[in-house]
Structure 1
Amino acid sequence: MTVDPGVVTLVAQQTIQGVSSLRGTPVTFKVRPSRLTSVSVTALADSGLRFSGAGHKNATVDVIKLSGPGSQTIPPVTVSNNGTWSVDSANWPLGRYSFKATQKVPDNIGGWIVSSEYTFSYTIELPRPTVDYTGDYTPVFSGTGYTGAAVVLYGPAGGNKVAPDAQVSGGRWSSTASAEWGPTFKRKVDLRQELNGHVSGWEELEVTIAPLPPVITEITGGDDSQLSPTIKGTCWIEAVVNLVYSDAPTIVHPVTMTNGNWTHRRATPFTPNVTHTVTVTQTAGQQTSLPASRNFQVSRALHKPVITSPVREAEVARDLTVRGQLGVAGASMQLRVDGINAAPPQQLITDGEWSIALTGLAFGRRIFDAQQTLDGRPSELSDPVAVMVVLMPPVFTVPLPGGKVPRAATIAGKGTPGAKVQVWEEGREDLLLMEVPVGFDGCWEGAVNLPVGVITLQARQTMEAQKEASGESSPVTCDVVPDAPWIETPVKDGEIGRVTVVSGFGEPGDTITISLDDAAHTVLGSTPVLEDRTWSVAVTLTQPAGAQVLVAVASLDGFESDRCARQPVVLGSYSPVIDTPQAGRWVAEPVNFSGQGRRGTGEVTSWYNPEYVWAPALAVSAQGWQGWSVRRLSAGGNWCRFKQTIVDGADGSTISDWVQSRRFEVPGPPPR
């Protein structure tokens, strides 16, 4: 036989030919836990160690350091219910350590029953550092290492240091090369960690740095009298630069080089008023860079720009976008207001349409015009466009046209920062909101209470300091619906039977409709909200047992609230059977209860209070259930109720419905 570790008392009994002897004298043993078979040691960050392994459930494991540097201790640890244990300990310097480990259980008299010792050793060595590098011409080396150590970087075969020593802090280190390397191909670097006489093994790194794309610094010339521009740029001083043009991509042109600066001008002219592309690469360190490209045109026609929006004499907001046509790709467009530059020049990417955003324009009459510049050549000024800058009406964001809001709603919108907004119902003089400030982000909002029905809202805004007032906003028509009700019972994730009562709170006069959150939105019942704001409705569910979601919706005059009052519940649809006590029978104390059900656990309760349990924790099997009352029942007529959990997994049921017995009689105490 096998017994658990600890204090165990055993007795012996023998049986011969079916005849058993009396039991012998009890004998108490202290059963020692088994010896640990292994201990895993894992290095942690910041010089920590994690000791872990398997042991006897609820035993205490002691790990004791026998030898090694430092005076660290490892706290005892209790083995978890799944038979594993783990404990962390900090501050373990480099070196070799030996340990012993035991597991123990209490002997119930203040002492311990300890297993045999398991001994093991562990060596903390300085690991090789990890390393990576950037692709910059002066590379930065970085990686992970042992905190406190120094990472040294050398050229191959004991060469000179290629970067300053790097101290490891927080497990990370970094060092920038001592000199610029430039484009590099498979250059070797050896590195290792050093700390207090400890050294790691060498880590070899192979560094390849691709040449960067050459830089095209400027394209000059190519105007009406010179149809071939001069291309200039920079590159690595030892590189070979090649250049091609998009109109002859198979012809490679060498460039003129001077100390890392290159220049080229093609003798063959380019087609005017067409976009050309120059593409440049450089080769160095046995590698060719990615190409650098730039578009250019020669003798581009520079049009007089046209402002298309806003139109002349339009009323505009202080913040607006001016749009136009006849822009030229590569040109910069400058917009002016009343003859003064109004915004930074806009660099145009494509021909044709252009736009420039303006903010904070002064109120009043303003005149816009625009001019574009290409390669230092200005165009004619556009025709002027006169507009009137006014305070525009605010805009509603809540509600939206055709949307819904509850009675108690927050109306919100966009306006001019610093303005104040008024909101009213169309056709009424009294205001719903007055003097609502617009924030710096252009947003405003205010709380209102609205009658249920269809409502049309309008708004305007004013700025007192500027003595400006906007016109009325566009009307927004929406539905005002009842506030969503609140379901109080059943509680969230509560257990219910097929017949249950749903109750909660709402607005007096509303009608509450209870439905299921299923595809058909199955309606279970409805009821009005009483003057004290409460409501309740008895519902019958015919759905399969398991998880269901009840939904409460408030309605008034054909308007319904959002379906946001949702309550998940667990439906028990199976009805177990109570066989005894039988109807009309007299029973004696303690009362025997029995019946039929499905595999699980049940309880018998009083009929008038389900928290008054008569027979708890009754096992239910395929053969039924039975139990005896643990409380004295009151004399006279009684009924009992029964409910069970279900674990057979047959149909997804987890609980049953309540069932109630027929009346039975409990005799009173005999007369004295």
Structure 2
Amino acid sequence: MTLGEGTHTIIAVAMGVDGQEFPSAPVTFSVRLALPAPQITQPEAGSVQDMNLWIGGTGADYSAQVQLLEDFNHDDYGYSLVTLTGGWGRLFNLAPGVHSIVARQTINGRQGPVGIAHFFKVRPSRLTTVNVEILPSQEVKFSGTGHNGATVVLTYVSGPNNKPLPEVVVANGVWQISAPDWENGIYTYSAIQKVSDNAGGWIPSQDFQFSFPVSTKVPDPTNVRASADYSPIFSGNGVTGATVLIRKQDGTEAAPPAVVVNSFWSSQSRQEWGPTFDQIVQVKQRLDGQESEPGVGVVVRIAPLPPVISSLSDNELSPLIAGTCWSGAVVNLVFSDNPAVHTAAISGTEWQFRRRTEFAPGVPHTVSVTQTAAQQTSAPATRTFEIRRTLLKPVIIDPANGGEAERDLRVRGDRSVAGARMQLRVDGIDTGPATLTNGGLWYIELKGLAFGRRILDAQQTLDGRPSERSDPVVVNVVLMPPQFTTPQPGGDLPRTSTISGTGMPGARVDVWLEGRDDFLLRGYPVDSNGRWSSLVILPVGVKTLQARQAIEQVVSRDSPPLTFNVVPAAPYIETPVKDGHIGGSAVVSGFGVPGDTVSIYLGDTLLGGAPVLEDRTWSVPVTLTQPDGAHVLVAVASLDGFKSDRSAQQPVVLGRYEPSIDSPRAGSWVSHPVTFSGQGRLGTGQLVSWFNPELPWAPNLAVSAQGWHGLSVRALPAGGNWCRFQQTIVDGADASTISDWSESARFEVLDPASR
């Protein structure tokens, strides 16, 4: 007997010899059918995919969630929701390599079995930049970023000679290759990165081509510098084996010639220059009779040495400072407590100075002394000194006397003395350890003050001496309203978003929309860091939030109203795929929220729009007249006059040019191998089946100014056929890199058995 899913009750009946029936007690039980395993249909088994790919399938229940797992160890790839038709799928981002995955579905915590394993390959992302640097050694260095562990391959495309380059493995996300002995000219190379397919083969990324010039003329020295010694030392980098020439503007020698060793050179002047102001020296290097041009100009500037502070004698509150300097120099002094510049009295090589303004006692002071000679000012000589300090009566400046304050309160004040300890009292009781101050402004944190009227005062202690107590400050400790950090006033927030704010740790927050009787949040806890946040779903429109908080039996005032805009969520573009080709006519589609309207933009140009359907999909046919080349598609959702943020950018390649297919001609009869030909622009073309673009009929056909032609590489089905042709474009006439698809007229293929 087969029972359906649900609850069933059965009884057993015994029959006596006299025909009397004796039923048993009823037994009730439930029957639950086994869940079938979902089938993975996308991507195509054994195919090669980009890292960001769509994985989907069929055979799942609408109320289920489909989980994707690694075939062997069941590592979790993530979940997908199921449509009404049993289809499921979403975008996943997988690491490059070989993947074998299985799927199972879960309903109300009940898991079904895993399905048949689905195998495919994921290729690494296409390299987008290769840095090329001509080194002083005349080597060419290539470098860039890539997928960690991948192998980078640079392949010669064109140039003066075929220069093979070694392969390199990406480490810590970067790679580099260097090679010597290049001929002058412009080179073009192709760059890919590849990972192992674990079967002796490779999974390569898409190709990236780049060009660079090479010039082997003698370069100027680099990193040229001159020391500030009175006999300056010139140094820098250059080509190993070259001779560096160092000359003044009049052509005379500034320093002896130097030979470059291991890419470094240096030379010291034979003569003492002394303090020098902006002497220009020309530096070149010579190799094999050729001098570099135009040379490197280095400006030599030698400043005088710092003056000497020989004495600092104390005299009440202003010390006498004295020292030595260069004869004829001007000596200036600056003190750390005032930016004013003072000039010392000089006699020969001796100087001295005493400031009329007294220094604050008990505070370290620093004097900086410089001398000016040869139009230059020396580095400063410094000395620190201190005069006994006066202990000040502290002042509490925040909170204000008679004002309100929170339980967690930062008390700020002024007139502290550096090194003193500041002690704060609340209602005559010390509030814990004293705080060491840096002088001037100070603050002390108070936590968990009792609600009600409180009296604060402060006192500082230095070297065992207490100051006079500050004037008392009376505050009323209350529970302040919570504050919002998200959203911002007048800002935008998607329908499903997190609202957040700050409040008293341990309090509970109520949040509501103005004009609504129900609460968005009721009794929501504030964490130990004074923060709260929660996910909410809001209707589109202009909304106003308010909040309050409560702790123990104390309730705060309502927060000020916060007005903001609730806008639709940004839609998602599914097709065309990232970096995919689009022609003059295309369809842009994706996912959004039912009821929204999605508008499609190419850059800032509006292409069209369409509503989001109940199954969350949308589709917009567009006509493109922009120049061919790289472009970016974005989508914006709108509802009732409110617009979402722009979607993630979807880069595409526009190719509207259509090459021609001249043969086979319309209605002609052909036999295998079929000859194809046509016209196009310089590049490479692919001829494919009209019903399956993944099925090549004549791949990699060269397209020249005379057109293109080729033979089918496989037998075509007998009867009526069409073919499609698309080509790359490399003629440089414009930004075009790929054409649109051209379709041939119908032609007839003879059945081999009929001949």
TM-score, scaled to structure 1: 0.55
Matched residue type, 2:638: S
Residues 53-102 of structure 1 show CA distances to partners (whole Å, capped at 9, x for unaligned) of xxxx9xxxxxxxxxxxxxxxxxxxxxx9747999xxxxxxxxxxxxxxxx
Matched residue type, 2:426: V
- Which residue of 2 is the match for residue 339 of structure 1? 428
Matched residue type, 2:453: R
Matched residue type, 2:561: P
Residues 197-254 of structure 1 show CA distances to partners (whole Å, capped at 9, x for unaligned) of xxxxxxxxxxxxxxxxxxxxxxxxxxxxxxxxxxxxxxxxxxxx965448334358xx
SS at the partner of 1:495?
A: strand
1:610 is the counterpart of 2:700: no
Matched residue type, 1:248: P
Deviation at 1:534, TM superposition (A): 0.7
Q: Check conservation: 1:244, 1:279, Cα contact below 8 A.
A: no
1:496 is the counterpart of 2:582: yes
Q: Check conservation: 1:405, 1:479, Cα contact below 8 A.
A: yes
Matched residue type, 1:404: D
What pairs up with 1:108-187 in 2 under 5 angstroms? none
Matched residue type, 1:250: I
Alpha-carbon distance in structure 1 between the residues aligned to 2:406 and 2:580? 57
From 444, 448, 451, give the equivalent of 2:539.
451
Alpha-carbon distance in structure 1 between the residues aligned to 2:550 and 2:613? 44
1:471 is the counterpart of 2:562: no
Q: Check conservation: 2:543, 2:564, Cα contact below 8 A.
A: yes
Matched residue type, 1:338: D
- CA, structure 1 residues 504+383, in 2 after alignment: closer, same or farther (shift >3 Å)? same
- Which residue of 1 is the match for residue 609 of structure 2? 526
1:296 is the counterpart of 2:387: yes
From 716, 728, 737, give the equivalent of 1:645.
728
Question: Larger C-alpha radius of gyration, 1 or 2?
Answer: 1
Comparing both chains, which one has the higher relative contact order based on Cα–Cα distances under 8 Å and sequence gaps of 6 or more? Answer: 1
SS at the partner of 1:431?
A: coil
Q: Check conservation: 2:570, 2:644, Cα contact below 8 A.
A: yes
Deviation at 1:665, TM superposition (A): 4.1
Deviation at 1:586, TM superposition (A): 3.9
1:318 is the counterpart of 2:389: no
What pairs up with 1:94-109 in 2 under 5 angstroms? none
Residues 632-666 of structure 1 show CA distances to partners (whole Å, capped at 9, x for unaligned) of 44555443211012334443433211112233344
Residues 333-375 of structure 1 show CA distances to partners (whole Å, capped at 9, x for unaligned) of 4321111222544455455x54433233233322112234455
- CA, structure 1 residues 313+250, in 2 after alignment: closer, same or farther (shift >3 Å)? closer
- Which residue of 1 is the match for residue 34 of structure 2? none
- Which residue of 2 is the match for residue 509 of structure 1? 595
What pairs up with 1:159-308 in 2 under 5 angstroms? 243-245=312-314, 247-250=318-321, 274-275=360-361, 293-297=384-388, 300=390, 302-303=392-393, 305-308=394-397
- Which residue of 2 is the match for residue 573 of structure 1? 656
Deviation at 1:508, TM superposition (A): 0.7
Deviation at 1:450, TM superposition (A): 0.7
Matched residue type, 1:296: I
- Which residue of 1 is the match for residue 277 of structure 2? none
Deviation at 1:618, TM superposition (A): 1.8
Residues 257-295 of structure 1 show CA distances to partners (whole Å, capped at 9, x for unaligned) of xxxxxxxxxxx9x987845767799xxxxxxxx966243
Q: Check conservation: 1:408, 1:450, Cα contact below 8 A.
A: yes
Q: Check conservation: 1:461, 1:470, Cα contact below 8 A.
A: yes
Alpha-carbon distance in structure 1 between the residues aligned to 2:395 and 2:471? 7
Deviation at 1:671, TM superposition (A): 6.9
Q: Check conservation: 2:496, 2:538, Cα contact below 8 A.
A: yes
1:540 is the counterpart of 2:626: no
Deviation at 1:550, TM superposition (A): 0.9
Residues 562-620 of structure 1 show CA distances to partners (whole Å, capped at 9, x for unaligned) of 11332122222332121112234444443321111223321222333322333222222
- CA, structure 1 residues 301+534, in 2 after alignment: closer, same or farther (shift >3 Å)? closer
Q: Check conservation: 1:490, 1:569, Cα contact below 8 A.
A: yes
- Which residue of 1 is the match for residue 477 of structure 2? 389
Alpha-carbon distance in structure 2 between the residues aligned to 1:635 and 1:603? 21
- Which residue of 2 is the match for residue 144 of structure 1? none
Q: Check conservation: 2:511, 2:547, Cα contact below 8 A.
A: yes
1:369 is the counterpart of 2:452: no
- CA, structure 1 residues 643+85, in 2 after alignment: closer, same or farther (shift >3 Å)? closer
Deviation at 1:410, TM superposition (A): 0.8
- CA, structure 1 residues 590+438, in 2 after alignment: closer, same or farther (shift >3 Å)? same
Matched residue type, 2:521: L
SS at the partner of 1:608?
A: coil
- CA, structure 1 residues 84+301, in 2 after alignment: closer, same or farther (shift >3 Å)? closer
- Which residue of 2 is the match for residue 399 of structure 1? 487
Residues 125-184 of structure 1 show CA distances to partners (whole Å, capped at 9, x for unaligned) of xxxxxxxxxxxxxxxxxxxxxxxxxxxxxxxxxxxxxxxxxxxxxxxxxxxxxxxxxxxx
TM-score, scaled to structure 2: 0.49
Deviation at 1:507, TM superposition (A): 0.6
Matched residue type, 2:428: G
- Which residue of 1 is the match for residue 747 of structure 2? 664
Alpha-carbon distance in structure 1 between the residues aligned to 2:649 and 2:319? 71
Alpha-carbon distance in structure 1 between the residues aligned to 2:488 and 2:710? 64
Deviation at 1:536, TM superposition (A): 0.8
Q: Check conservation: 2:318, 2:359, Cα contact below 8 A.
A: no
- CA, structure 1 residues 249+595, in 2 after alignment: closer, same or farther (shift >3 Å)? farther
Alpha-carbon distance in structure 1 between the residues aligned to 2:168 and 2:546? 69
1:593 is the counterpart of 2:660: no
- CA, structure 1 residues 665+378, in 2 after alignment: closer, same or farther (shift >3 Å)? same
Q: Which sits farther off after the overlay, 327-336 or 598-607?
A: 327-336
- CA, structure 1 residues 318+376, in 2 after alignment: closer, same or farther (shift >3 Å)? same
Q: Check conservation: 2:581, 2:654, Cα contact below 8 A.
A: yes
What pairs up with 1:624-635 in 2 under 5 angstroms? 624-634=707-717
Alpha-carbon distance in structure 1 between the residues aligned to 2:360 and 2:728? 83
Alpha-carbon distance in structure 1 between the residues aligned to 2:676 and 2:581? 23
From 526, 551, 554, give the equivalent of 2:637.
554
Matched residue type, 2:526: V
Matched residue type, 2:425: R
SS at the partner of 1:565?
A: coil
Deviation at 1:460, TM superposition (A): 1.9
Q: Unaligned 5+ residue runs, structure 2?
A: 1-154, 156-162, 170-309, 324-353, 369-380
Q: Check conservation: 1:324, 1:354, Cα contact below 8 A.
A: yes
Question: RMSD of the TM alignment (CA)?
Answer: 3.7
Q: Unaligned 5+ residue runs, structure 1?
A: 1-56, 58-79, 87-240, 253-267, 282-289
- CA, structure 1 residues 563+343, in 2 after alignment: closer, same or farther (shift >3 Å)? farther
Alpha-carbon distance in structure 1 between the residues aligned to 2:654 and 2:539? 38
Matched residue type, 1:335: L
Deviation at 1:622, TM superposition (A): 2.3
Matched residue type, 2:321: T
Q: Check conservation: 1:273, 1:301, Cα contact below 8 A.
A: no
- CA, structure 1 residues 649+368, in 2 after alignment: closer, same or farther (shift >3 Å)? same
SS at the partner of 1:312?
A: coil
- CA, structure 1 residues 638+477, in 2 after alignment: closer, same or farther (shift >3 Å)? same
Q: Check conservation: 1:272, 1:297, Cα contact below 8 A.
A: no
Between Structure 1 and Structure 2, how many residues are aligned?
Answer: 411
Deviation at 1:471, TM superposition (A): 2.1
Alpha-carbon distance in structure 2 between the residues aligned to 1:85 and 1:496? 35
